[in-house]
Amino acid sequence: MEYRAKAQRGTAVSLFLLIYALLLGITATVVPPETSGLVFEGIKNSALIEVLKENLWEENPRGYLQKTLGFKQKNDEEGNLSQEYALWLLTGARVNDPYSLMLAGYPVLNGGEEKFGDIDEGEDLPALPGEPLVGIFCTHAGESYEGDGGRERAPKGEKGEVLDVARELSQKLEEKGIKTILIEKVHDTDYNRSYSEAKKTVLDLLAIKSLKLLVDVHRDSEASPRYRTVNVMGEELAPIIFVIGKGERLPQPHWQENELVTKKIIAETETIYPGLIRGIRYKSGRFNQHLSSHLVLVEIGNVSNSLVQAKKSADLLAEGIARYLLR
């Protein structure tokens, strides 16, 4: 089995080198010298490279596919991964479609942006195995929404509406086949100790090795009139913004890794729901993101939004997260 797995990886590596050489050849022949450096940089940062980093070095490529994607890949008679299917898996390109082959590792042709495969709105994604992939919690579980006549925060020690939003996110991920763990513990009874209390939850979640993503759900305290709502497909919804703690006063070894995860989730979400996410807010704290390379902090809505608006935005975000996890 070990020999076969190595053979499969060898096939994938060979395919990658072939495609990479082809792209470099195209660069050398059709791209002017003054822009070839930009094209080469685009190739280095392409979706192909990211896929190779994340998936190629698994000990058991076949088992990885069956476990993560929920279906069996095409094999030859001896059970080896077919070259045509491996090419599609790694690049999204098909042998009989030269244009798709070029676009797979040539983002400059796509206007400098990575393009993602289409998933129809509401499409059911492949069911995942029983192990959970996402852990969800709220450091500030008392946060609520005033937009529908509610109050800014729940009484001290009680659960706020932000937990309803976290529950909605969890439920929608489950409907997409993404198993989740939702922690409804109130961490902010003593607001100044919120992150110290939430740290215990994060460590508990990190002990569950199957988890690929931790999500700390918040409600934004800022309510700029300009961004009170966002218009997505003709509907006024709660804006979403992510927060990255760079740890300028204390060690934060993972902020760039968390930034990369965040940007991928944003890209997937904005592909299907442009305008929903305002971007990333960088702060000097750590927000427990120093504990993990895959912990994202997301503000779903602001204090002036209604709970209904926030839950709807959480629904859409769940689709983006599902797309990210299934890449």
Element (DSSP H or E) covering residue 116: none
What per-residue confidence (pLDDT) applies to 312?
A: 98
DSSP designation for 204: H
- Tally of residues, the chain: 327
Copy the structure tokens of residue 87. 């090419």
What per-residue confidence (pLDDT) applies to 223?
A: 76
Contact indicator for 76, 82 with CB cutoff of 8 Å = yes
What per-residue confidence (pLDDT) applies to 150?
A: 87
Contacts of 299 (CB under 8 A, 6+ apart): 218, 219, 220, 240, 241, 242, 243, 281
40 to 20, 33, 59, 274, 327: CA distances (angstroms)? 10, 11, 30, 28, 23
Copy the structure tokens of residue 293. 């390379």
**How many beta carbons lie within 10 A of that of residue 296, not counting itself?**
23
Give the span between the Cα atoms of 289 and 214, in whole angstroms. Answer: 10
Copy the structure tokens of residue 264. 């991928």
Copy the structure tokens of residue 288. 């427990």
At residue 111, what is the residue type? G
Contacts of 284 (CB under 8 A, 6+ apart): 245, 246, 247, 248, 249
**pTM of the entire predicted model:** 0.62
Give the span between the Cα atoms of 85 and 91, in whole angstroms. Answer: 10
Sequential pLDDT tens for the chain (327 residues): 444 444 444 544 445 444 544 444 444 443 343 333 333 333 333 343 333 333 333 333 444 344 334 333 434 333 344 455 445 444 555 555 554 444 444 333 333 333 333 333 334 444 456 899 999 999 999 999 999 888 999 999 999 999 999 999 999 999 999 999 999 999 999 999 999 999 999 999 999 999 999 999 999 998 777 889 999 999 999 999 999 999 999 999 999 999 999 999 999 999 999 999 999 999 999 999 999 999 999 999 999 999 999 999 999 999 999 999 998
What per-residue confidence (pLDDT) applies to 226?
A: 80
Instruction: Give the SS3 label for residue 278.
Output: strand
Segment 60-95, tens digit of pLDDT: 344 434 433 433 343 433 334 445 544 544 455 555
- Which sequence spans correspond to the domains of the chain? 2-110, 134-325
Residue where the block lists tokens 């190739």: 43
136 to 198, 205, 246, 252, 284: CA distances (angstroms)? 11, 9, 21, 21, 23
Segment 203-257, tens digit of pLDDT: 999 999 999 999 999 999 987 778 899 999 999 999 999 999 999 999 999 999 9
Q: Strands 213-220, 295-302: parallel, antiparallel or unpaired by DSSP?
A: parallel
What per-residue confidence (pLDDT) applies to 148?
A: 86
Q: Which fold has domain 134-325?
A: Aminopeptidase (3.40.630)
